Amino acid sequence: MGLQQATIAVDAMGGDHAPDEIVAGAIRAAAELDVKVLLVGCPEQIRSCVDHHGGLDTSRVEIVPADGVITMEDKATSIRRKPNASINVAMKLVKEQKAQAVVSAGNSGAAMSSALLRLGRLKGIDRPAIGAVFPTIVPGKSVIILDVGANMDSRPKYLEQFAVMGTIYSKYVMGVNEPHVGLLNIGEEPGKGNELAVETHKLLSSNSQIPFKGNAEGRDVLSGDFDVIVCDGFAGNVLLKFAEAVGEVMLNIMKEELPKGLRGKAGTLMLKPNLQRIKKRIDHAEHGGALLFGVSGICVISHGSSQSPSIFNAIRLAKEAVDHQVLERIRSYNEEHMQQAKAIASANS
Q: pLDDT (tens digit, 9 = 90+) per residue, 137-159?
A: 898 899 999 999 998 889 999 99
Shared domain check, 24 and 119: yes
State the pLDDT at residue 304. 87
Q: Which whole number is the average pLDDT over 299-305?
A: 91
Residue type, position 113, single letter? S
State the pLDDT at residue 266. 64
Q: Which whole number is the average pLDDT over 107-119?
A: 94
C-beta separation of 316 from 285 below 8 A: no
Strand (E) or helix (H) holding 58: none
Shared domain check, 137 and 118: no
Shared domain check, 138 and 118: no
Residue type, position 204, single letter? L
In angstroms, the CA 140 to CA 105 distance is 26
Shared domain check, 184 and 112: no
Shared domain check, 338 and 263: no
Backbone angles phi, psi at 91, to 5 degrees: -65, -35
Shared domain check, 319 and 196: no
Strand (E) or helix (H) holding 45: helix 43-52
- The per-residue pLDDT for range 203-226, each reduced to its tens digit, is 999 998 899 999 999 999 999 999
Asked if pLDDT for residue 1 goes beyond 60, the answer is no
Q: Which of 243, 268, 286 is the last residue of a domain?
A: 286
State the pLDDT at residue 244. 78
Task: Quote the domain boundaries for residue 15.
Answer: 1-125+294-349
Query: Before 147, cis peptide (omega within 30)?
Result: yes
Shared domain check, 147 and 118: no
**CATH code, domain with 230:** 3.40.718.10
- The per-residue pLDDT for range 213-262, each reduced to its tens digit, is 999 999 999 999 999 999 999 999 998 888 877 777 777 777 776 666 66
Shared domain check, 74 and 205: no
Cα 91–55–108 angle (5° rounding)? Answer: 25
Shared domain check, 106 and 13: yes
C-beta separation of 143 from 124 below 8 A: no
Question: From residue 308, how far is each of 15, 23, 118, 286, 316 by CA, in Å?
Answer: 11, 8, 27, 11, 12
- The per-residue pLDDT for range 164-180, each reduced to its tens digit, is 999 999 999 999 999 99
Shared domain check, 182 and 141: yes
Shared domain check, 151 and 95: no
- The per-residue pLDDT for range 83-103, each reduced to its tens digit, is 999 999 999 999 999 999 999
Shared domain check, 341 and 256: no
| Domain total in the chain | 2
Highest mean pLDDT among 53-62, 71-80, 278-287: 71-80
